[in-house]
Structure 1
Amino acid sequence: QWGLVGDVFVVGAALPDTCVYPEFNALNPDMSDPRYNTELGVYEPGCGLDNLHLAWGHDEYLYQVLRHHQPNRIPEAGMVMIRYHSFYPWHNEGSYSQLLCDKDAQYMEWVKEFNRYDLYTKSTKIYDLDEMKGYYMPIVEKYLGSGVIGF
């Protein structure tokens, strides 16, 4: 699973069969380590998504960049959508339910709504960069200000 790009899974607990290519789960050394190879792993039941360590990917990277950027006026729902939209074993397959807390049900609604626009909405159209900047820069400035964003 370490070589996958995109799909997210919990680090520190057993990999569920709902991860893509589950036939390779056994190759992950954590799966033979008793600290990590159970449904709870290193976590407490009901600890909530915000207390889990997830596999590093583009979602978590952008989330961390934005979380540390000031000003950040992106609403909580937007930050949740950014962070968890590729966590398919959770929001598509129902995995990790033993780790969820009450507020994660709201997170699920937000992520599923976002994925309606994220997935399968790609186009081969080539856009004019200046036109795109004219549209998106006011939005970026509204939520992130006009300063430099540190990556």
Structure 2
Amino acid sequence: MHLFFIKFAALHRSEAYTHLLNQEDVENLKWLQIFNKYDLYSKSKVWIDVEKVKLYYLSLTEKYFPEKLKW
């Protein structure tokens, strides 16, 4: 599984850590910059109640991530 830095502000704002990107990351970064303006979480003034969404995200984790991760 390939993980990409979706919420990595230093990369977005000042292009920090670009030496860690591979070619696929560089290609994905172009799309990330395009879709970043539609990111509602960072632009909303409403705070998310973690307890209300916790079960939903736990269920996603159980569904899509194996019990043990290989790093």
TM range (shorter): 0.3 to 0.5
> Higher Cα Rg: structure 1 or 2?
1
Q: Which has the higher contact order (CA 8 A, sep 6+)?
A: 1
Which structure's residues are more often helix, by fraction?
2
TM-score, normalised by the number of residues in structure 1: 0.29
